[in-house]
Amino acid sequence: MLSRRIQTLSSSLTIKISTLANKLKSEGKDILSFSAGEPDFDTPELIKNEAKKALDDGFTKYTAVPGIDSLLKAVSDKLKRENNLEYKPSQIITSNGAKHSLFNLCQALIDDGDEVIIPAPYWVTYPELVTYSGGTNVFVETDDKSGFKITPQQLKNAITPKTKMLILTTPSNPTGSVYSKSELQDLADVLKGTDIWVCSDEMYEKLLYDGKTFTSAAAISEDMYKRTITVNGLSKSVAMTGWRFGYLASPNDELISVMKKLQSQSASNINSITQKASILGLDESVDDVVESMRTEFEKRRNVACELINAHPKLSVVIPDGAFYLFINIKAVTNDSMKFCEELLELKGVAVIPGIGFGSDGYVRFSFATDMDSIKEGIKRIIEFIEQKGI
């Protein structure tokens, strides 16, 4: 018999739909997929060259569990340089993608009955990681009127004696909302005096638009620094989704120590070649290529938002970051799952139902796809709505 825990776990909806779209495509169907949260760009040549060199040098053996010293130093330097955060290399653990870091974190922190506050809409994976660890999700609802951001009062109302952690994602997947420094400060004020941890998922920090700047939650104050676990990776910023590199950092030596223990009994270290390549991915020398991808994403965002907001039955809050549009389809239907199934079947367009992110009546459209596909995809979505007469 399978464990009770595993029987309650759901598969990742984002992965499920993007896998289905790829399968249909490989069968020769005319599919346009806006489902995967994955840059369409290739990993920069500079980074690939480091990997080739590592292979040629025979860097193919086990390494220390949290990662090689030079990699941990590169993460520490990056966090200092870009995020104004001081972490010793010994306070950092690299894992197989930020998803793995988050999994390990939930396993290390959450006990049966602990509550974790998650602003909704949320990335599909968080609630599953929390329940798999025995915890209870406490969702705090936001919508397009609030720019998909929680208020200090909402946070205050969600806190109970059982609250263990708050998960903050800025920029957000799926909405692209970004908390400003003063908004983070206001949330930090609510947490002061509590023993609540903050998991700050900063995967999309490099993808900001309209000149917006990024603030790390841990950089808000000494109090926030102590309670925050900073999580990040290279999947989105330098198009390294397949390499599986993520990390987390915390000044809490006890937490880091148990997490190293956990990883020593599961994945051990991450791929040695990825480690060498990631040192470069974290370096300033890739800033230009990151900026060229960001500029392209911004152009696509502008075009896509204009096309969507021009339609009377669709609307989208223009995202400040990441590469997703969380499109309001409520004037058409609240049943986002049915909408997405029919759209894929009738028009060959794959988007993710908002229900998977905790908000029905929306769909997530990834614009990490070429401009022509974006224009054609939105045209098909509009034809779909009009043909159905809904």
Q: Which residues bind ligand PMP (CB under 6 A)?
A: 37, 97-99, 123, 169, 173, 201, 203, 233, 235, 241, 246
DSSP bridge partners of 304 = none
DSSP 8-state secondary structure symbol assigned to residue 268: -
DSSP 8-state secondary structure symbol assigned to residue 169: E
**Where would I find the H helices in the chain?**
4-7, 13-26, 45-56, 69-83, 98-109, 125-132, 152-158, 181-191, 222-227, 253-264, 272-281, 287-309, 336-347, 371-388
231 versus 385: smaller Cβ distance to ligand PMP: 231
Query: How far is the C-alpha of 351 from the C-alpha of 337, rounded, in Å?
Result: 10
Partner from ligand GLU, ligand PMP, none binding residue 63, C-beta < 5-8 Å depending on class: none
Tokens of 195: 């023993």
Q: Which residue has its beta carbon closest to ligand GLU?
A: 37
Check residue 355 for interaction with ligand GLU (CB under 6 A).
no
Q: Which of residues 99-158 bind ligand GLU (CB under 6 A)?
A: 99, 123-125
Distances (CA, A) of 37 to 17, 18, 95: 11, 9, 19
Looking only at the bridges linking them, the beta strands covering 32-33 and 246-249 are unpaired
User: Which residue stretch of 10-18, 50-58, 105-113, 336-344 sits at the interface with ligand GLU (rule: CB under 6 A)?
Assistant: 10-18
99 versus 206: smaller Cβ distance to ligand PMP: 99
Sketch the per residue contact string, 173 through 212, with ligand GLU: x for CB under 6 A, - otherwise: x---------------------------------------
Partner from ligand GLU, ligand PMP, none binding residue 169, C-beta < 5-8 Å depending on class: ligand PMP
Tokens of 240: 């390294």
Longest dimension (CA), the chain: 62
Closest approach of ligand PMP to the CB of residue 380, in Å: 25
Partner from ligand PMP, ligand GLU, none binding residue 246, C-beta < 5-8 Å depending on class: ligand PMP
Residues interacting with ligand GLU, by CB under 6 A? 12, 14-15, 36-38, 99, 123-125, 173
